[in-house]
Amino acid sequence: MDKKPKNSLTKSSRKEGRQLSLMTVPVVVWYALFCYLPLFGIFFAFKDFTPVPGESLLKNLFVNSPWVGFRNFSYIFRNPQIRSIIFNTLLYNIIFLVAGIVIPVTLAILLSEIHQKMFKGFVQMTLVLPYFISWVIVGYCVYGFLSTDTGVYNSLLDHFGADKVQWYQSPQYWRVILIVLGIWKSCGYTMVIYMCSITAIDRTLYESASLDGASFWQRVRFITLPHLKTTISTLFILGIGSILTSDFGLFYQVPMDSNALQEVTQTLDVYVYKSLMQNANFSYSSAASFLQSIVGCILLIISNVIVSKMDKESALI
What does R_g of the chain's alpha carbons equal in angstroms? 26
Selection from 200, 175, 206, 233 nearest residue 108 by Cα: 200
Q: How far is the CB of 228 from another protein (least distance, A)?
A: 41
Q: How far is the CB of 310 from another protein (least distance, A)?
A: 41
What's the gap between Cα 76 and its chain centre?
Answer: 23
Q: How far is the CB of 185 from another protein (least distance, A)?
A: 20
Query: Considering beta carbons, is residue 136 or 310 the nearer one to another protein?
Result: 136
Residues 6 or more apart whose Cβ sits within 8 Å of residue 216: 113
Identify whether the C-beta of residue 241 lies closer than 8 Å to the C-beta of residue 297.
yes
Residues lying near another protein in the complex (CB under 8 A): 49-57, 60, 71, 74-75, 78-81, 143, 147-149, 166, 168-169, 255-260, 262, 266, 271, 274-282, 284
Query: Considering beta carbons, is residue 75 or 189 the nearer one to another protein?
Result: 75
Q: How far is CA 133 from CA 38, 130, 251, in A?
A: 29, 5, 15
Pairwise CA distance, residues 146 & 181, whole Å: 14
Pairwise CA distance, residues 233 & 315, whole Å: 7
Pairwise CA distance, residues 277 & 300, whole Å: 30
Task: Give me the sign of the Cα torsion angle 284, 285, 286, 292.
Answer: positive
Query: Considering beta carbons, is residue 214 or 260 the nearer one to another protein?
Result: 260
Pairwise CA distance, residues 61 & 10, whole Å: 50
Q: How far is the CB of 280 from another protein (least distance, A)?
A: 4
Pairwise CA distance, residues 210 & 216, whole Å: 9
Helix (H) or strand (E) holding 195: helix 174-200
Query: Considering beta carbons, is residue 255 or 296 the nearer one to another protein?
Result: 255
Q: How far is the CB of 175 from another protein (least distance, A)?
A: 17
Q: How far is the CB of 290 from another protein (least distance, A)?
A: 16
Pairwise CA distance, residues 106 & 186, whole Å: 14
What's the gap between Cα 99 and its chain centre?
Answer: 12
Task: Provide φ and ψ at 179, rounded to 5°.
Answer: -65, -45
Q: How far is the CB of 126 from another protein (least distance, A)?
A: 28
Q: How far is the CB of 169 from another protein (least distance, A)?
A: 7
